[in-house]
Structure 1
C-alpha cells in the first residue's frame, strides 16, 4: 500500500513540473482543458485543429492570441518579439479569436499555416487563452456582432506550439548531471544538462537507474518519466529532475537515459553513466 502511495506521489511531483513547463503565465485558466496539450503542427498539413473543453460548472469566455516565447537555458521561458528569428507567429492564423463555452462544453479552434518558402526547421509560438468577462446581456453562447469583451483578470494559459517546416533534424545529448541545491517536499533533485543540435526542437523522456557498488542487481529506477523539451532557440538546457520519493544516492553508478517517447522500451536517444562517490 505504501509503495502505491509513493508511486502516486511521484507522479504528482512530475506532473507538477510538466504544468510549470507548459503554462508560461502566472495562473492557469481554471477548468480549461485541451486536446492535445501540446501543438505539434506540420506545415505541410496547412491546418491544425485543437479541441478546448470548459471543465468547470459555469459559462466562461476567452480571448485567443499568439505570442512568442523562447526557452531559457536554466529553465522556464521568456517573452520575445514576434519578429524573432524562430517565431512562428507571422505565419499563423487563428479562428475563432474569442470563444464562449458553457459548462462542460467543447469547441474546436482552427489554426492555419499561411507561410511559404520558409527555411526548413522548427518555429515557435504559444497559443494563449485569456479569460474575459461575459457581457451582462449575453443570452446565448453565440457572440453578437460588435460585442465587447473586457479582461476579467490576469488569468490565462499558454499552450506551446511547434511549427515544423520541411526537413527537420535534431539531436540531444546528456552532457552532465549533479545534485541540485533545489529541494521540494523532501524530494532530492538533480540538475541534468542537455545539448541540442540541428534545426529542430529536441525532446524525449528521461529515466534514471542507480546501482549501489557491489550489487549484482540491475539497479533501482530512481528518475521516472521526466519530459524533456528543448526549444530550437537554445543549444543547451538544464533540467531539474526529481528522484522518486525517499531516494538518496550513495556510492554507486547512476545511469541516465533519454528515450524517444514515454517508457523504457522506446528507442534510446542518449545515455550518460556517472560514478557517484560516497
Structure 2
C-alpha cells in the first residue's frame, strides 16, 4: 500500500491539481488563485485560454502546454521539473483536471516518482448539474463521454442503462440529438432524463422530462453549449429482460451474431433480439450489417 506524504519539507516539488471555473469566473476560489500565483509553473491544457483566466486575477506565473496530443513527451519533462524541486499546478480549460480532461497520466507518473500530489476542490460540471437535476443524487455513476460510433454507443448504453443509479454523461452539442435518440432506443420512452447546459453562465438551462420528450426537444430546438446528460436509474429491467432474452449478457449485435451462428436467419435473429430488448428492428439490422 502506498501512503502519500502530507508534509512539505521534502526537496522535491509538489504537483497541484487546480480546478478552474466552468463558466462563471466568480467560482474561482481564493486558494486556487493563491496556488497559481505561488507555483513555479502552470501546466495548462490550452495556454491561450488559461492566459485569459490568469489576466483576470493578475497572475503572472509562466505556463507550459500539457494536453492530449503532447502528453507522452510532456509528462517526463514535467516529472523531471518536479523532481528537481519545482512546484507545478496543472489545470484544464474548465473544471477538474483528469475528469474528461488531461491529468490522470501525469498524476500516475508523479506518484510513481514519489512526488506529492495535492488536489484542490472546485467546480465540476457533472456534480453541479446532478444536484439540481431532480434525479436521485446518490448513488450515481459518472461515465463521461460515450463512444461516438453508434454501434459502440448503443452497446455501452445496453450495458449500463439497467443499473439502478443515476448516470451522468458529457456530450457536445452537435452530437446531442443522436445520443439522446440512442438513449431513448435503449431505455424506452419513459425513463426520466435531465439535460444541463451552459452551467454557471448567463444562459444556464435545465431541460427535464422523459427520454422521449428530451430527445424530441433536441430534435426541434437549436442546440448550443456543452451538455451534461443525466439519466435516471433502471428499475429491474435487466432481470425482466433475462427471462425473455437468454443472451442478455451480450450486446444486441453480439446476440444477433450468436443466433445466426446457431442457424437462425438474420432477419429472424434481429426480430427476436429487437423484440426482447425493445429496440428498433431496422436500426438493429443496419448496425448488424455494419459490423459484419
Q: TM-score per shorter chain, which class?
A: under 0.3
Structure number with bigger Rg: 2
**TM-score of the two chains, using structure 2 as the length reference:** 0.23
Whichever structure has more helix as a proportion of its residues is: 2
